[in-house]
């Protein structure tokens, strides 16, 4: 019989690890009381933390180990890569999930259905839709891969394109998104947020890299590119799906990450002013 995942959010993992370290150990009844959940759910969380090798079972409950300390230190420093490495090195579900993507889907975009097909052959672990939803959420919030907010396609964002490749791709993506309303006419202005999403997917790079390289292209393409703002009610400021991020929350009795879901499509900020649209009037190459 294959092992199934017990779905646990990153928030619950951080909270349970923090409490177990502060108290030197934890049982399901105490955890459920502190997290205001059922004792059965508290037991599920602790059992999954044991499978992640963040706690070890003892006579009086579950005790945190060095992995738990490393995981919590990484969280406190907002070191998402460090949290990723603790999970990757110790949690079979996460390790197989990430390894499969890197081996079978390294240079392509993929959907949750593609992941299901790639993972279904694992002989020991059961990757159902719930498991994939949980692991995709972890990976997106930890910055391991990104999701195109307009298509929902995932991709590993690990490349650092050079200036020439970025410039050529910027021109290509702009032209692809510059839809003609009718023959002989062009839209001219395209949402910066949409260009960013499709260009990052094309080049498999992070959004922060786009912003950096776009600023460089803008500075050396004076007269070729024009940026424009947008009214508050403009559709350019909305994206069809939300961007998932994570931040370290305020210090409290229980450490907990702050989950952020941004539905506002972000433009590009230049000299303190944000622009929502881009138009390219001359070839950038």
Domain boundary among 119, 143, 167: 143
Query: Does residue 285 fall inside a structural domain?
Result: no
Burial of 17 (0-12, 13-18, 19+ CB in 10 A): buried
* CA 114 and chain centroid, separation: 18
Give the domain extent around 270: 156-280
3-state secondary structure 157-195: CCCCCCHHHHHHHHHHHHHHHCCCCCCCCCCCCEEHHHH
Q: What is the CATH number of the domain that holds 79?
A: 1.10.10
In a domain? residue 151: no
State both tokens at 248.
Answer: 């370290």
Two structure tokens written together for 224: 């070729």
| Closest C-alpha to 61, from 31, 36, 83 | 31
Last residue of a domain, one of 143, 173, 189: 143
Q: How far apart are CA 255 and CA 278, in angstroms?
A: 41
Question: Taking a C-beta distance cutoff of 8 angstroms, is the pair 56, 70 a contact?
Answer: no
Separation CA 62–CA 68 (nearest Å)? 12
β-partners of residue 217 are none
| Terminal Cα distance for the chain, rounded | 57
Same domain, 169 and 212: yes
Give a yes or no: residue 149 inside a domain. no
Find tokens 């259905």 and name the residue: 113
pLDDT tens, N- to C-terminus, the chain (285 residues): 678 899 999 999 999 999 999 999 999 999 999 999 999 999 999 999 999 999 998 877 899 999 999 999 999 999 999 999 999 999 999 999 999 999 988 889 999 999 999 998 776 888 999 999 999 999 999 999 999 999 999 999 888 999 999 999 999 999 999 876 666 556 688 999 999 999 999 999 999 999 999 999 988 888 889 898 865 445 555 567 778 888 887 666 678 887 777 666 788 888 888 889 999 888 887
């Amino acid at each position: 019989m294959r092992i199934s995942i017990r779905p646990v959010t990153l928030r619950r993992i951080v909270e349970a690890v923090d409490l177990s370290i502060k108290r030197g150990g934890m049982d399901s009844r105490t955890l459920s009381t502190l997290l205001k959940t059922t004792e059965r759910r508290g037991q599920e969380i602790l059992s999954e933390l044991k499978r992640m090798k963040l706690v070890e079972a003892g006579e009086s409950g579950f005790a945190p180990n060095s992995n738990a300390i490393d995981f919590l230190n990484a969280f406190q420093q907002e070191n998402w890569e460090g949290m990723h490495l603790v999970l990757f090195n110790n949690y079979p579900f996460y390790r197989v999930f990430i390894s499969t993507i890197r081996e079978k889907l390294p240079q392509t975009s993929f959907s949750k259905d593609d992941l299901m097909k790639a993972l279904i052959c694992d002989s020991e672990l059961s990757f159902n839709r719930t498991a994939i939803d949980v692991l995709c959420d972890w990976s997106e919030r930890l910055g391991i891969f990104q999701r195109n907010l307009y298509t929902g396609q995932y991709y590993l964002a690990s490349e650092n394109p050079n200036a020439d490749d970025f410039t050529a791709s910027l021109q290509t993506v702009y032209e692809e998104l510059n839809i003609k309303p009718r023959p002989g006419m062009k839209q001219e202005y395209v949402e910066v947020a949409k260009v960013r999403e499709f260009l990052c997917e094309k080049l498999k790079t992070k959004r922060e890299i786009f912003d950096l390289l776009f600023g460089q292209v803008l500075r050396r393409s004076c007269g070729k590119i024009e940026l424009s703002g947008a009214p508050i009610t403009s559709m350019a400021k909305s994206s069809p799906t939300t961007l998932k991020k994570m931040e370290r929350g305020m210090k409290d009795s229980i450490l907990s990450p702050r989950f952020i879901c941004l539905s506002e499509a972000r433009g590009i900020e230049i000299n303190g002013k944000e622009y929502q649209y881009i138009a390219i009037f001359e070839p950038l190459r």
